[in-house]
């Protein structure tokens, strides 16, 4: 793959790349709609992912090219950027925007992306692009970010630049995933442990439904808002920072505060799902 991408890079930019990077996608084994409610999730990395190869240029521009998309962009290197539509390059551009708040990027860059994660498949292709861009800029220019800071930076891009109110799970999973391992992550504290994920005679099947999943255009933000409503209503009697601070027993004592049936269903799922992750993390070997 490295040699093939190097040849593609030379075809497009007429120079040799100076660095190569790879970041995986992820699946979540259990813990759905938990990460933005401060609970436990258990994702693992997959072998599908995103490659990025780069080289500097003397033109003071950032050139974005992907082997997966027709859209390209050549953008002048500036102190800040804003999202300019739905095109894929807004994801890495958002990373530039965030890093430029604290650092100066000293040269233009030619960038070539390639991914074999099906777009919109729920395997975190956007998080993979964001994290690989953050990792590459940090590594290439020695900005000094700690590893834990990179998924947090990528999440901020997703929240503020792209406009999806996601939690930390996707970005954390692609940054910290390991071969044949799963991650048990507390999305509130960011405490985590790496656990063996030995499936033995079983295989993890990822099934393509051909139904694209686009968080920025889906009801994802609506789900986040509903959970925030539940939290606010529960806080009339108890003090919580996140829904997942509640046990099922304590939730039952206060669930009468949630007046909307749909909001109650959302909160009930979150509380019970968090308990299921606890049980799953103890059972996996």
Distances (CA, A) of 21 to 81, 97, 119, 285: 24, 20, 19, 31
Instruction: Select from 44, 36, 26 the least CA-distant residue to 280.
Output: 44
Q: Phi/psi at 173 (nearest 5 deg)?
A: -65, -40
CB of 132 closer than 8 Å to CB of 68: no
Q: Which residues contact 134 (CB under 8 A, 6 or more apart)?
A: 95, 98, 99, 145, 150, 153, 154
What single string gives the DSSP state of each residue in 30-86?
E-TT-GGGT-EEEEEEEEEEEEEEEEEESSSEEEEEESS-S--EEEE--S-----SS
Please tell me the distance from the alpha carbon of residue 245 to that of residue 80, in angstroms, as a whole number: 38
How far, rounded to the nearest angstrom, does the alpha carbon of residue 256 sit from its chain's CA centroid? 34
Positions marked active-site: 170
How far, rounded to the nearest angstrom, does the alpha carbon of residue 20 sit from its chain's CA centroid? 20
Long-range contacts of 235-242 (CB under 8 A, 24+ apart): 241/38, 241/188, 242/37, 242/38, 242/39, 242/188
Please tell me the distance from the alpha carbon of residue 41 to that of residue 274, in angstroms, as a whole number: 8
């Amino acid at each position: 793959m490295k040699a093939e991408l190097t040849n593609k890079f030379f075809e497009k930019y007429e120079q040799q790349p100076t660095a190569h990077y790879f970041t995986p996608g992820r699946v979540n084994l259990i813990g759905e709609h938990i990460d933005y409610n401060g609970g436990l999730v258990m994702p693992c990395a997959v072998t599908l992912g995103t490659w990025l190869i780069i080289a500097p240029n003397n033109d003071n521009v950032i050139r974005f090219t992907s082997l997966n998309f027709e859209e390209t962009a050549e953008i002048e290197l500036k102190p800040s950027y804003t999202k300019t539509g739905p095109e894929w390059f807004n994801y890495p551009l958002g990373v530039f925007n965030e890093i430029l708040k604290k650092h100066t990027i000293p040269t233009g860059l030619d960038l070539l992306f390639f991914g074999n994660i099906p777009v919109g498949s729920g395997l975190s292709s956007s998080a993979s692009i964001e994290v690989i861009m953050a990792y590459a800029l940090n590594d290439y220019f020695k900005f000094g970010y700690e590893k834990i800071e990179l998924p947090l930076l990528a999440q901020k891009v997703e929240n503020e630049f792209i406009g999806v109110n996601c939690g930390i799970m996707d970005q954390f999973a692609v940054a910290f995933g390991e071969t044949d391992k799963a991650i048990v992550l507390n999305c509130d504290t960011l405490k985590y442990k790496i656990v063996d994920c030995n499936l033995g005679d079983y295989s993890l099947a990822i099934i393509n439904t051909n139904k694209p999943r686009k968080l920025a255009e889906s009801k994802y933000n609506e789900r986040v808002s509903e959970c925030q409503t539940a939290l606010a209503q529960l806080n009339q009697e108890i003090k919580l920072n996140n829904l997942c601070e509640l046990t099922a027993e304590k939730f039952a004592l206060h669930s009468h505060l949630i007046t909307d049936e749909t909001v109650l269903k959302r909160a009930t799922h979150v509380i019970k799902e968090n308990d299921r992750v606890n049980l799953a993390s103890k059972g996996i070997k």
